[in-house]
Structure 1
Amino acid sequence: MARLREFAGRFRPAGVPGAAAPAGVPADLRADREAELEPVFAALAETVRACSDLREQAAADARETERRARERCGSILADARSRTAAARADASALARGRTIAENQALLDQARHTAQTIRERARTRLPHLVEQVLDRIRALGAGP
């Protein structure tokens, strides 16, 4: 590492203002800076490689996570579709059962009504037949 004096020396002019001094050579500031920063960049090279490796690993992990998520999504969708089909079948069976029960109740009611009508007809029929016969006899007795 550079010492404070060397660090501060970078900011000094190469020569004193005025006439050129015959004994001085200007300092190569660029070479000094590069030499000073070279160990820092060398130390950072490992960190840069580690960061690059971490980015690559993170990208690979992200791809794997996305692949697993797609598989899980497909599995969830397949399960939901199969459960949907089963639920539809159950709902259809339930609706059919209700419809059959309603139809059976209507049929029972219709049978009961028909039986009631038959019983009324049986009880009324002899009386009605008697009335018809009386009218026919009355027509036959006439002119």
Structure 2
Amino acid sequence: MARLREFAGRFRPAGVPGAAAPAGVPADLRAGREAELEPVFAALAETVRTCSDLREQAAEDARATGRRTREQCESILADARSRAAAERAGALASARGRRLTENQALLDEARRTAQEVRERARTRLPYLVEQVLDRIRGLGARP
């Protein structure tokens, strides 16, 4: 829809301001503007095509960068997963080694304690046997 200014502009005088002149034909500004701007738009057509080509190239570059980035991320994740598995296996082996060492130390301590008990029993055994025998003999002396 035409604006009020454009509509009113059609009826402006065709002549020079001053004394009254006969009424002229309304000016067609739109046709004049289009004719005046047509060479400018024709000159810009190549620039518009260049911009469109640049946008398409940029979009393709962005897609390629996205693909490369996804591939790189997948590679990093795969490497991290394999290293994590190796680290877990190493930590498990280390923990098992420490546990075996601790268990061996406990076993050695238990063996030393058992040897000490045997030695004490060996030294006390004759005395204890003598006491048992005395009690048995004492049982026989009673009526």
TM-score after normalising by structure 1:
0.82
Instruction: State the partner residue of 1:106.
Output: 106
Distance (Å, rounded) in 2 between the aligned partners of 1:132 and 1:110: 30
Residue identity matched to 2:64: E
- How far is the alpha carbon of 1:43 from its aligned partner? 1.4
Whether contact under 8 Å (2:10, 2:26) holds in the other structure is no
1:15 counterpart = 2:14: yes
CA distance in structure 2 between the partners assigned to 1:43 and 1:13 by the alignment: 32
* TM superposition shift of 1:11: 9.9
Contact 2:14/2:26, CA 8 A, preserved across alignment: yes
Q: Counterparts in 2 of 1:86-97, with a 5 A limit?
A: 86-97=86-97
Contact 2:13 2:26 in 1 (8 A): yes
Change (3 A) 1:137 1:112: same
Aligned to 2:83: 83
Misfit runs of 4+, over 6 Å: none
Tell me the CA shift for residue 25 of structure 1: 5.4
* 1:48-88 Cα distance to aligned partner (Å, 9 max, x none): 11110111001000000000011011101100100010011
| Equivalent in the alignment of 1:31 | 31
Q: Which has the higher contact order (CA 8 A, sep 6+)?
A: 1
Give the C-alpha shift of residue 97 in structure 1: 0.7
Size of the aligned set, in residue pairs, is 132
Question: What is the Cα deviation at residue 20 of structure 1?
Answer: 3.7
Q: RMSD of the alignment, in Å?
A: 2.4
* Unaligned ranges ≥5, structure 1: 1-9
Alpha-carbon distance in 2 for matches of 1:84, 1:141: 81
Q: For residues 14 and 58 of structure 1, what CA distance do their matches in structure 2 show?
A: 53
Shift of 1:12: 9.9
CA distance in 1, matches of 2:29, 2:102: 102
| 2:106 paired with 1:122 | no
1:6 — aligned with what? none
> How many Å apart are 1:142 and its aligned residue?
2.7
Q: Which deviates further from its counterpart, 68-77 or 131-140?
A: 131-140
Tell me the amino acid that sits aligned with residue 111 of structure 1: R
5+ residue gaps, structure 2 = 1-8
Check whether the contact 2:10–2:28 (CA below 8 A) recurs between aligned residues. Answer: no
Q: Which residue of 2 aligns with 1:139?
A: 139
